[in-house]
Amino acid sequence: MAEHYDVPGKVVLITGAARGIGAEAARQLYAKGAQISLVGIEPELLEQRARELGARAAWFEADVTDTEALHGAVDATVERFGGIDVVIANAGIAPIGTVATIDPEAFERTIEINLLGVWRTVRATLPHVVARRGYILPIASLAAALHMPLMAHYAATKAGVEAFSNSLRGEVAHTGTKVGVAYFSFIGTDMVHESFEEGPAKLLRENTPGPVSGVASVESAGRAIVRAIERRARKAYAPRWVPIPLALRGVLQPLIEKQNHDAIEQAVKLTDAEAPARAEQPLAERATSE
């Protein structure tokens, strides 16, 4: 029989909570009775989200690349709510680029936020979550299993998040704390919509067969997170078909590479040609947060 973990009254800290998956998970969990700590780098949006939710929500400005600020947000959460039961390590970015021509700052910033940011978030919250025998849910991606061109940096971080979470699960099992991993395909966030507006990404998507190229609603991702928390599950998925490509990752990777050979070549050439112009943009405009 599946475990049931009562959400009402639980304290949930969410990074990357100003928009997208983080904001939607906050909304759905608040509706279930949780107390919500919204953590992120957009104070105006965070304040708005907290005000929209109500008295059981609070917001704290912190960048997951800043260890001191992140610990400050964790301490403030504990002071406000008395502890932390659940942490959702969601903050992430996804600039487009090939290994040969991507701005090194964008590549390394992706690793800093998407992978090291998860590590910093978990490390800062771990004593509090373990004290309550709670639940840790880092947000990975279908990109942890299917590694698409133009996204080497993003795919590497999400594969790293998957591995990190699986290792952590064994380390804390004796405490009664549970660890999951969230695997999402394309979700209708600002990050995904802006990425699809770029010619190379649009070209690859149009030439990728099957449901992998589709975009699911942010509400479906929020529901998957709520289900995972209520069960303290090993995995969360959205859309529901995601377990199939995860199970077939060894088969699908070479198949997609073969079927998309011509489109990949075109997308790479287009990306490399656009790289100088993209590098002149501020990084914030090239790497929208999840």
Give 239-272 pLDDT, tens digit per residue.
Answer: 988 999 899 998 877 877 777 777 777 777 777 8
Give 78-102 pLDDT, tens digit per residue.
Answer: 999 999 999 999 999 989 899 999 9
At residue 289, the pLDDT reads 46
Single out the catalytic residue among 5, 30, 135, 154: 154
154 catalytic residue (yes or no): yes
Q: Are strands 35-40 and 181-184 parallel, antiparallel or unpaired?
A: unpaired
Order across the sheet with 86-89: list the strands.
Answer: 57-61, 35-40, 11-15, 86-89, 135-138, 178-179
At residue 132, the pLDDT reads 98
How many other β-carbons are positioned within 10 Å of the β-carbon of residue 15? Answer: 33
Mark the ranges of the chain whose per-residue pLDDT is less than 70: 1-2, 190-214, 277-290
Domains contained in the chain, CATH given: 11-286 (3.40.50.720)
- What is the rounded CA–CA span in Å between residue 169 and residue 129? 13
Q: Catalogue the E-assigned strands of 141-211.
A: 178-179, 181-184
Q: Catalogue the E-assigned strands of the chain.
A: 11-15, 35-40, 57-61, 86-89, 135-138, 178-179, 181-184, 235-238
At residue 285, the pLDDT reads 41
